[in-house]
Structure 1
Amino acid sequence: MPLVINLKRKKRTKEWYLIYLDDGHEILSYIDFIIKFKIKTGKQLTQEQIDEIKSSSELIFAKEIAYKFLSSKPRTQKEVEERLRQKGVNENIISRVVEEIKNYGFINDLEYARSFVFDRARSKTVGKFALKQALLAKGISNEIIDQVLSERENVVDEFEIALALANRKLKQIKSSKKKKRDKNEQKRKIYEFLARRGFDWDVINSVIRRIFNDFKFEN
C-alpha cells in the first residue's frame, strides 16, 4: 500500500491539501478526508481510500469552481461546463455538478435568455437576429431562443426600434463633412447599418420605405 511521505496545505486555502505518496503520486484532498482517514506522514492508504479521496475531492473542487463562477453574474449551462473544462475537471464530474446546480435553480437557460433579451429590448439597439446569434453562442437551445423571442414580440415593436436607429444614422450621414451621398448611397448605408444590428430584411425594407417614401434600391 502507498505510504504518505508528506502532507502540505495548499497556499491561500484552509480546506485543501496535497498528499505526497512514496510511489511518486500526489493527491489533491479536501480537509474532510484528511480527518476521516487520519492522514499524516507515515500513514498507509488503501486503493479504495485513494479512489474515494480523489473522486470526492474532485467533486467538491468542481462545485467550488462552479459556484464561484456563478456568484458574479448569471451564466448559461454551456458557460459553466466550459469553465469546468478549463480547470481540468473530467466530463463525468461536470455532468454531476451541472445537474445538481440546475436542480437548485442556479442554472436556468430559459430565465437567462429572457433576461438577456429583455435587457437589450430596453436599450433598443439590436434586432432579433443579433439576439439569436448571441444566445446561440452562449449555448442556448433553439427551442428556448424561439420561445423568448416570441415573448419579446408581444412587448417590443421591432420596426419602431429599427426606424429610430435608422433616423439617427441618417442624420449622421447627412451631417458628415465627408463627400455628400446621394439617396441610393444613403439607403445602402442604412441597410448595412441595420443588418449589422441584427434586423431582418422585411423590417429593414419597411424602414427604408418609410424614411425615403420609396424603395428603388439595389442591394
Structure 2
Amino acid sequence: MPKIISLYPIKRKKHWFEIRFDNKSFFPINDELILKYLLKSGKSLNKSEIEKLRSEAGHLFLKRKALDILSRRRVSERELRQKLKVERRFSHHTDKVIKDLKNVGLIDDMTFAVSVISSILIGGPKSKMYIRQKLYQKGIPKDIIDKAIESELADYDEEQGALELARKKYKAVKSIPTLKAKKRVADFLRGRGFSWDIVNYCLDILFTKND
C-alpha cells in the first residue's frame, strides 16, 4: 500500500498541506482532514482510502477558493463558476460547491441583482437599459434580471431621472454655444443608457425654456 512520506505546508494557504506518497502521487489536503484521519508520515493507505481522501480534499479546496472569492466581493453564480475554472483539477467538484453555497445563502442571484441595482442608483439616475446591461455583465440570468427590475424599479420614472441629470449637466455647459451644449447634454444622457426619446424630451424642456 502507498505510504505517506511527507505533509508539507503550502505557501500562502493557511491550514493547507501537500500530502505526498512513496508512489509519487500527491495532492493538497487541509489540517481538518489530517486530524480526521490521523494522517502522518509513515502511515499507509489503500487505494480506496486515498481516492476518498483526494475527493474530500478536492471538494474542500475548491470550496475554500470560492469562499475566498466571496470574501472580497459578492458575485453571481456564473461569475463564480468562471473564477473557479482556474482550478481545473478540481472542476468536477464545482456543482457540489455551488450547491453548498446556495444552501447557506452565499450564492443568491436575486439578492445580488437587487444589491447591484441599489449600488448603481447611488451614483445617480440611470436608464433601465443601462441597469439591465450592467446586471447582464455581472452574469445574472435574464429571468432574474427581469424579476429584479420589475421588483425594484416598478415606480421608477426614467424621464424624471434623466431630466434631473440633464439639469445638472446643463449648468456646466450653458455658457457655451447652444448646439455644443445640446450635444454634451445628449452625450451625457446617452452614456447612461437613456433612449433618444428621453434625451430629446430633456433637451426640449431645457433648451426651449432657457433659449
- TM-score, normalised by the number of residues in structure 2: 0.85
Q: Does the C-alpha gap of structure 1 residues 110 and 4 become closer, same or farther in structure 2, counting only changes over 3 Å?
A: same
**1:217 aligned partner:** none
Is 1:77 matched with 2:72? no
The within-5 A match list for 1:73-152 is 73-88=73-88, 90-152=90-152
Counterpart residue number, 2:203: 208
Structure 1 letter corresponding to 2:80: V
The 5 Å alignment of 1:1-219 reads 1-11=1-11, 15-88=15-88, 90-175=90-175, 180-181=176-177, 183-213=178-208
Question: Judging changes above 3 Å, is the alpha-carbon distance between structure 1 residues 75 and 202 closer, same or farther for their aligned structure 2 residues?
Answer: same
- Aligned-pair distance for 1:108? 1.0
Moved more, 78-87 or 127-136: 78-87
User: Retained in 2: the 8 A contact 1:76–1:140?
Assistant: yes
- Contact 1:16–1:30 (Cα < 8 Å) also in 2: yes
The amino acid of 1:132's aligned partner reads R
- What is the identity, as a one-letter code, of the residue corresponding to 2:109? D
**Runs of 4+ in structure 1 over 6 Å off:** none
User: Do the aligned partners of 1:62 and 1:89 also contact (CA within 8 Å) in 2?
Assistant: no
Alpha-carbon RMSD across the aligned residues, in angstroms, is 2.4
1:98 CA drift (Å): 0.7
Which whole-Å CA distance do the structure 2 matches of 1:123 and 1:36 have between them?
Answer: 50
Question: Counterparts of 1:213 and 1:202 in 2: how far apart (Å)?
Answer: 16
The amino acid that maps onto 2:179 is N
TM-score normalized by structure 1? 0.83
Q: What's the % identity of the aligned pairs?
A: 30
Check the 8 A contact 1:10/1:17 in 2, yes or no: yes
The answer on whether the counterparts of 2:59 and 2:90 sit within 8 Å (CA) in structure 1 is no
Aligned CA distance change for structure 1 residues 131 and 14 (closer, same or farther; 3 Å): closer
**Distance in 2 between residues matched to 1:137 and 1:126, nearest whole Å:** 16
Aligned AA (1:192): D
Q: Per-residue CA shift, 1:72-128, capped at 9, x if unaligned?
A: 443211232233223446332111111111122111111111121133334324222
The range that moved more, 126-135 or 63-72, is 63-72
Structure 1: any 5+ residue segments left out of the alignment? Answer: 215-219
User: Is the CA contact 1:5–1:42 (under 8 Å) kept in the aligned structure 2?
Assistant: yes
Aligned residues: 209
| Equivalent-residue separation in structure 1 for 2:24 and 2:64 (angstroms) | 27
Letter of the 1:129 counterpart? M
Matched to 2:42, the amino acid is G
Answer with 46-55 or 78-87: which moved more. 78-87
